[in-house]
Structure 1
């Protein structure tokens, strides 16, 4: 199921399975390591590539959350409800 929300973006399943918070934490760790500059070139390139995938995943999770929030509606009697999210 997690792979479907990232369909077409080539996000590996192990990244797609991460929560937003876990992916963001990994991304922050990668950035800190890259900023220190103590990686070998190949490691830095791999870290950058993984960071780009983590960034895409985080952005997708944020868009998904935004769509859910936008679907919260106010009912005629003043009650708050939700409408099903259109995935298209």
Structure 2
């Protein structure tokens, strides 16, 4: 069953608006409502991207990164790439 890209886009827009509301009402670092809104945006984007591809064989120029991607990038740094600054 495919999802209409317009419906998925509407869900993504709603998720983005809810994220903005949560961010503007943040109650400190690690606010669970902001975190939930963050993941809702990521999930809605993936649904939209899949619907867009299935309907039109098209993608967006955007990409969702997760924590695992960040950890992989951090481990890819070679010692040779690091610059040592001595004072």
TM-score (norm 1): 0.45
Specify which structure has the bigger relative contact order, considering alpha-carbon pairs within 8 angstroms and separated by 6 or more residues.
2
In terms of fraction of residues, the more strand-rich structure is: 1
